[in-house]
Amino acid sequence: MLIDSFGRQHNNLRISVTDRCNIRCYYCMPEETPVFVSHSELLTFEEIERFVRVAAGLGVNKVRLTGGEPLVRRDLPLLVEMLKRVAALTDIALTTNGLLLAEQAASLRSAGLERINVHLDTLDRARFRQITRRDELDRVLEGLEVCKQLGYRVKINAVALRGLTEPDIVPLALFARERGIEVRFIEFMPLDADGQWRRDLVLFASEILDILSREIGPLEPIQEQDPRAPAAEFRFADGGGRIGIIASVSRPFCGSCNRLRLTADGKLRNCLFATEELDVKALLRGGGSDSDLGGLIRQGVREKWEGHEIHSAKFVQPPRPMYSIGG
């Protein structure tokens, strides 16, 4: 099994299927045109499936497809179908900005996908444009609606930004509450392409909880939650609506981390903030055996550090921004 030197067992793999995206969130993508990985450098679906089979043999049972924007990768439902055939996987989920969901949600559902996290920071058109540098709010809302109709289990991911999205906290929580969707607020992390992150731009989890309980009603922690999940979950005391808080900066959850990441260009990362990676693609394309692949995965887990050091003077922002890592 994949147990690291701090006793953490790894069963969760995030797979980035592309670094391309159809919007340009400023806390992720650069202002200028990003340089993307060429198509020949992307892992093929067959290569991803092979990697997943080996990882599943070592105890990985949860997979999340992400990016960049995963829905811009052609034929994504085919990959879902292929992964559904890996018997050891108990959970396959998708994280998307939602723009292409109205078109693709049905075929993904037919392929076997059941869980989707839709990224939506604001319901305000002007702020959506300011954050994403695109005017596409309606498409995200339409995508969410289609997902609900198709019976997906949906969550909303909202990045919380001090000085910008405070007015969005309550409307997003109410919007989600009315639809039976959990909204998860994520603290802004130093993973933006332009290196603009500063601690004073992080809207802290405790402040978000204060705003919600003051403006909507008291919140209580949900007891029956997975202790290894990044979100701390709450429900409103009146029974209506769930809130998740991903306090990566103010309350790091590295101590219970169970995650590994495979980038679109085939590198294995053992932490979002890792500055080193292992070359899966070179093994896959250089005739490596499944046992070599397994060895590489074990090495990644073995070498995992205790946790990110955002609060220390030693912290170095990783050379890859979020869109290139796979969030």
Question: Residues in the site for ligand SAM, rule: CB under 6 A?
Answer: 21, 27-28, 66-67, 69, 95-97, 119, 157, 159, 186, 188-189, 191-192, 322-323, 327
Q: Is the dihedral of CA 58, 64, 70, 73 positive or negative?
A: positive
3-state secondary structure at position 166 = helix
CB of 50 to ligand SF4, least distance (A): 25
Partnered with residue 63 across adjacent β-strands are 13, 92
Residue nearer to ligand SF4 on the CB measure, 36 or 305 = 36
Footprint of ligand SF4 on 54-113 (CB under 6 A): 67-69, 97
CB of 292 to ligand SAM, least distance (A): 29
Number of Cα atoms under 13 Å in the Cβ half of residue 125: 4
Strand segments, DSSP code E, in 48-201 are 62-66, 91-96, 115-119, 153-160, 182-187
Q: Which does 146 bind (CB under 5 to 8 A by kind): ligand SAM, ligand SF4, none?
A: none
3-state secondary structure at position 291 = helix
Q: Which two tokens stand for residue 239?
A: 């029974």
Q: What angle do helix axes 101-111 and 137-149 make, rounded to 10 degrees? A: 30
Residue nearer to ligand SF4 on the CB measure, 29 or 271 = 29
Residue nearer to ligand SF4 on the CB measure, 31 or 220 = 31
Partnered with residue 241 across adjacent β-strands are none
Q: Which does 24 bind (CB under 5 to 8 A by kind): ligand SF4, ligand SAM, none?
A: ligand SF4
Residue nearer to ligand SAM on the CB measure, 57 or 77 = 77
CB of 29 to ligand SF4, least distance (A): 4
Q: Interface with ligand SF4 by CB under 6 A: which residues? A: 21, 23-25, 28-29, 67-69, 97, 119, 322-323
